């Protein structure tokens, strides 16, 4: 079975703090893709990053960084020097290559206070 777990329901930080959002996934497939999406209060799902199962190289994009570790089935997301505009719900998702099925976690609500 495929599953995505985001154990942190809600995180609150003060601006400029670093914050890490956890994501643990389950799949028996060898080829899969992992994603992070941001859902601001306006409701749309904004794509942030994708990773395929063969590429464990970590990635940094500005204040955002992602740590993919197959050994622990985790794909964690870190925001450095958080800002109020980062306040949103963040979803981790898993897509299975052979079926194209896209499964989401339950999301982590991040609140950044000034």
Which residue of 47, 58, 60, 84 would you call a contact of another protein, by CB under 8 A?
47
Least distance from another protein to the Cβ atom of residue 100, Å: 5
HSE toward the beta carbon, residue 107, CA cutoff 13 A = 12
Q: In whole angstroms, how far apart are CA 30 and each of 70, 84, 90, 92, 101?
A: 11, 38, 25, 18, 14
| Binders in 14-33 for another protein, by CB under 8 A | 33
**Contact residues: another protein, CB under 8 A:** 6, 33, 35, 37, 43-45, 47, 50, 52, 91, 95, 97, 99-107
């Amino acid at each position: 079975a495929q599953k995505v777990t985001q154990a942190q329901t809600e995180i609150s930080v003060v601006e400029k703090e670093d914050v890490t959002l956890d994501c643990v996934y389950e799949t028996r497939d060898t080829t899969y893709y992992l994603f992070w999406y941001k859902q601001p209060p306006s409701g749309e799902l904004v794509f942030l990053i994708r990773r395929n199962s063969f590429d464990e190289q970590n990635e940094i994009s500005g204040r955002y960084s992602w740590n993919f570790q197959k050994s622990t089935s985790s794909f964690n997301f870190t925001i450095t020097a958080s800002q109020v505009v980062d306040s949103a719900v963040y979803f981790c998702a898993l897509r299975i290559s052979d079926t194209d099925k896209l499964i989401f976690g339950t999301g982590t609500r991040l609140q950044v206070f000034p």
